Amino acid sequence: MYKKHPLGCLSVCLWTISRRWGSQLAYVPKHQLCGDGALVQLQRFLQDTERLFVLTGAGISTESGIPDYRSEGVGLYATSDRRPMQYKHFMDSSKARQRYWARNYVGWPRFSSVKPNAAHTCLAGWDSSGKVACVVTQNVDRLHHKAGTSTVHELHGSAFSVMCMSCRRQVVRQHFQTRLTRLNPHLSARPVEMRPDGDVELTEEEVESFQVPPCESCGGIMKPDLVFFGESVPRERVERVKSELAGCDGLLVLGSSLHVYSGYRFILAGVERGMRMCAVNIGPTRGDPHLMFRVDGRCGDVLPRLHL
């Protein structure tokens, strides 16, 4: 009924499996391989679903080498006292914008070159088969697009686009990266250890000398076209996703604790509609009381062992 994993339900810690997958799993918290019973339950859920709504979070991308904020033991909050940039701080302070763009500039080559993992690839296959009606992601890394999924709603926007906050002109990130390079020949964009939003650690000297170009059209503030902490998801985007949800009969959460309301709201909407819902995640989620069940495991381990 499903593909049986050769290790069965053997308990595996992060340091053990990292020998096989290298640093790709450095940001995945300690966990166990999913047991056979949980796979059977999830397989039945998929077979009984005609149009699947998939909600993905940072936990699906940690296996590609992108760190997250909240994972136990390995997330940014657990390993550092650093906190993500707040929207108000970014907009109010030229120094904050300088620091943000300097760090993000250096980290961009690594962040933009990250590749999809087995979970992204499986979802793209499900999409091609017609099982998945849409994928709604809280991630800004474009990995679902890279894997080939056709219908993706980026709830928090995309790091691959930059927008002027005055005239709303949008440019692709690589174009803005080129402008940053021309203005800052002293600072090299290089593959280095990065944080969840793609930035890196720099010295104060490197930051203070960094120049940030304004909008080429109106001279306004340029900001990544993504939702910062303290910023709201655009209402029209939320309504568009709710419209997609209305046409589905099953909801699957992948790699999200649902701690942030922007994603959790769709669980509440599913409850109102009486939807069948479940999740695959390492550790509890905020939505657990409303789910039929939760598979405790790594998305890249669980999804390839299922079939449609």
Q: Tell me the binding residues for NAD(+).
A: 57-77, 138-141, 255-257, 281-283, 299
**Of the listed ranges 116-120, 207-211, 290-294, the one predicted with least confidence:** 207-211
| Segment 143-157, tens digit of pLDDT | 999 999 999 999 999
Active site amino acids: 156
DSSP state of 295: E
- Domains of the chain with bracketed CATH: 14-305 (3.40.50.1220)
Residues in the chain: 308
Is residue 223 within 8 A of residue 213, CB to CB? The reply is no
307: confidence class by pLDDT, cuts 50, 70, 90: confident
192: confidence class by pLDDT, cuts 50, 70, 90: low
Q: Which residue has the higher pLDDT, 196 or 228?
A: 228
Q: How far apart are CA 105 and CA 200, in angstroms?
A: 9
- Kindly report the pTM of this predicted structure: 0.85
Q: Tell me the binding residues for Zn(2+).
A: 164, 167, 215, 218
**Of the listed ranges 28-32, 43-47, 116-120, 230-234, the one predicted with least confidence:** 28-32
DSSP states along 69-108: SS-TTTSHHHH-S--PPBHHHHHH-HHHHHHHHHHHHHHH
| Segment 78-106, tens digit of pLDDT | 344 566 789 999 999 999 999 999 989 99
Look at residue 78 in the predicted model and tell me its pLDDT: 39
Query: H helices within the chain, ranges in order?
Result: 14-21, 36-47, 76-79, 87-92, 94-113, 118-129, 143-147, 173-183, 204-208, 235-246, 261-273, 299-302
* 18 pLDDT higher than 60: no
Look at residue 206 in the predicted model and tell me its pLDDT: 79
294: confidence class by pLDDT, cuts 50, 70, 90: very high
Q: Which amino acid is at 15?
A: W
* 19 pLDDT higher than 50: no
Is residue 45 within 8 A of residue 295, CB to CB? The reply is no
Q: In whole angstroms, what separates CA 81 from the centre of its chain?
A: 21
**Of the listed ranges 52-56, 189-193, 257-261, 290-294, the one predicted with least confidence:** 189-193
* 198 pLDDT higher than 70: no
15: confidence class by pLDDT, cuts 50, 70, 90: very low
Share of the chain above pLDDT 70, in %: 80
Q: How far apart are CA 38 and CA 54, in angstroms?
A: 18
